[in-house]
Amino acid sequence: MRPWPFVVSLLTVIDLRVMAEKTYGAAYKKNVMFLCNHNSCRSQMADGWLRALRGDRPVGVASAGIVGGTAVKPGAIAVMKESGVDISGFTSDAVADFDPNDFDVVVSCCGCGAKLDPPDKAAWKTRAVFADWNLDDPPAIDPGDLSAYAPPPGVRPRSPPELSAAQVPPRPRRGQGSVRGAPRGPRGDGLLRRRDGA
């Protein structure tokens, strides 16, 4: 008797478990990647919020560090737990461990999009949507317990309301440069970039 059918069956079960645990990928209609320097605080919190707020919407999400993963900061875990979002099981990963082609939207949470310019990382900025947010670094502004980021008592995340077609903002036209209402950068340029540069 050959062991191959058993091995193939076992590998299939392992693959299915990995797919079921994966928080992004082909099983989702859209996939979002949150990036920051070390994947220790800002990107972890954004990842946790999107997972909590997406409900049953088919949106995959992951987060990674541009210069490498370190560890999820205990303060970030504590503040998110106070908000009703558990990120204690999250891992700090490096962007090198992911394929940019798996993601439709890439958000740099630390305003460090320029760190994605080297050839080995440039593909991250070519996704359908790239946004370079410049969120404050929680440990830098509140080096104690991150309580500055805690919501008021009793506030819990809720699913966003369903939007009708009339409520969805229009897509930017070629040459507009940014999405209407998007935050403006220090040079006055739009921070939200589409792959075609519009």
Is 109 among the residues known to form the active site? no
Q: Which token pair is 73? A: 């900061």
* Cβ contact 77:41 at 8 Å: no
Q: Could you say which of 41, 109, 110, 112 is catalytic?
A: 110
Is 41 among the residues known to form the active site? no
> For residues 55 and 29, what is the distance between their CA atoms, to the nearest angstrom?
14
DSSP labels for 163-197? PPGGGSPPPPPTT--S-TTPPB-TTS-BSEEETT-
Q: Could you say which of 36, 41, 109, 112 is catalytic?
A: 36
Exposure string of 102-111, with b = 16+ CB inside 10 Å and e = fewer, is bbbbbbbbbb
* Cβ contact 140:77 at 8 Å: no
Q: % helix / strand / coil in the chain, to the nearest 5? A: 30, 15, 55
User: Which residues are marked as active site?
Assistant: 36, 110
